[in-house]
């Protein structure tokens, strides 16, 4: 498709995160910023890492292919450094597909499944922009412990992340998709629920990863708040300007009427006196 002439300027694209469970092993392939995590005794363990233009290895490839990644966007536009589609960023004929400005070449992570592995969550960035890896795992695990089914939990997670008002954009207004996969390992759903009642064991490495994840979410939230503040200021300024225009228009009308009246009065004063007929004094 990349070689098709009609696709060269196509700007549509998507992320992808795919998980295969086989022979007690998890295989996760990822392109973009959709993400997968696995819960291990309540600890959120990443199965994928977001592809962002600010990352050093991604930035090197982007520049080498003739692009730039300032302001955390590819060529000032795309917030991802890898994606399916987005052919407008894949037009360097001297580079193979995996070395294009934006590539669909995935990272693949392999994770052996142990007795402590509980469930997997796959979701797009509409979820991860609102909640961190650990927050999502905590949310799902708490409800699995209550013996709720994964579909109901997924719906509750979407509701939790959805903004109450999406007219202005920002966090909670992006498209959202989530899949929850219970790792039953031949046991029942009740057995998985019992696993999820155990106290979570969070390692220091996981804490650091989730703190970093939380910082990115805070940054996204700050940006969204800044955009909303700017919009409010623009709307306020526009309202003031509209009122000023109305006042100026009214002032001009009053001035025009005053000038017309003055000209009329001045005309009456400056007009020559009416000539009287000559008086005959002859007797």
Distance CA 122, CA 176 (A): 11
User: What is the mean pLDDT of the segment spanning 221-231?
Assistant: 46
The pLDDT value recorded for residue 223 is 47
27, 48 Cβ separation under 8 angstroms: no
- Arithmetic mean of pLDDT over the chain: 81
The pLDDT value recorded for residue 252 is 65
CATH 3.30.1950.10 fits 12-229, yes or no: no
- Residue 30 pLDDT > 50: yes
Enter the tokens of residue 278: 């000559």
pTM (predicted TM-score): 0.70
The band of 231, judged by pLDDT with boundaries at 50, 70 and 90, is very low
Largest CA distance in the chain: 146
User: What is the mean pLDDT of the segment spanning 186-215?
Assistant: 79
Residue pLDDT, tens place only, 79-99: 999 999 989 999 899 999 999
Residue pLDDT, tens place only, 121-161: 999 999 999 999 999 999 999 999 999 999 999 999 999 99
Q: What region does 105 belong to: left with phi over 0, alpha with psi -120 to 50, or beta?
A: beta
Enter the tokens of residue 41: 């005794």
The pLDDT value recorded for residue 226 is 43
Question: Which of 77, 55, 74 lies closest to 66, judged by CA?
Answer: 74
Helix and strand numbers (H, E) in the chain are: 6, 9
- Residue 54 pLDDT > 80: yes
Question: Which of 32, 100, 40 lies closest to 65, judged by CA?
Answer: 100
The pLDDT value recorded for residue 115 is 94
- Residue 275 pLDDT > 80: no
- Residue 261 pLDDT > 60: no
Residue with tokens 């989530």: 178
The pLDDT value recorded for residue 253 is 66
Least confident of 21-30, 60-69, 70-79: 70-79
Give the 3-state secondary structure of residue 178: strand
- Residue 108 pLDDT > 60: yes
Distance CA 67, CA 76 (A): 10
The pLDDT value recorded for residue 277 is 54
User: What is the mean pLDDT of the segment spanning 224-242?
Assistant: 54
- Residue 273 pLDDT > 60: no
Q: Would you give the DSSP letter of residue 33?
A: S
- Residue 263 pLDDT > 90: no
User: What is the mean pLDDT of the segment spanning 33-44?
Assistant: 96
Distance CA 131, CA 171 (A): 10
Q: Would you give the DSSP letter of residue 273?
A: P
């Amino acid at each position: 498709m990349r070689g098709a002439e009609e696709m060269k300027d196509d700007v549509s694209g998507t992320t992808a995160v795919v998980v295969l469970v086989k022979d007690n092993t998890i295989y996760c392939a990822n392109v973009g910023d959709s993400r997968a995590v696995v819960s291990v005794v309540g600890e959120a363990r990443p199965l994928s890492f977001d592809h962002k233009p600010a990352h050093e290895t991604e930035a090197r490839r982007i520049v080498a292919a003739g692009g730039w990644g300032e302001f955390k966007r590819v060529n000032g536009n795309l917030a991802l450094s890898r994606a399916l589609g987005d052919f407008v960023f894949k037009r360097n004929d001297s580079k193979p597909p995996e070395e294009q400005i934006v590539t669909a070449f995935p990272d693949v992570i392999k994770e052996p499944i142990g007795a402590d592995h509980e469930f997997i969550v796959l979701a797009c960035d509409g979820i991860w922009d609102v909640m961190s890896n650990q927050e999502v795992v905590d949310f799902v695990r708490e409800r699995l412990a209550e013996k709720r089914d994964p579909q109901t939990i997924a719906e509750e997670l979407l509701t939790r992340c959805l903004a109450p008002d999406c007219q202005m954009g920002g966090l909670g207004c992006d498209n959202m998709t989530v899949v929850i996969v219970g790792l039953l390992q031949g046991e029942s759903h009740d057995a998985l629920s019992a696993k999820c009642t155990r106290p979570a064991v969070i390692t220091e490495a996981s804490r650091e990863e989730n703190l970093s994840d939380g910082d990115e979410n805070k940054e996204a939230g700050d940006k969204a708040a800044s955009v909303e503040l700017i919009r409010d200021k623009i709307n306020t300024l526009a309202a003031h300007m509209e009122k000023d225009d109305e006042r100026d228009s009214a002032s001009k009308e009053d001035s025009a009427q005053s000038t017309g009246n003055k000209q009329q009065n001045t005309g009456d004063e400056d007009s020559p006196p009416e000539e009287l007929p000559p008086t005959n004094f002859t007797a």
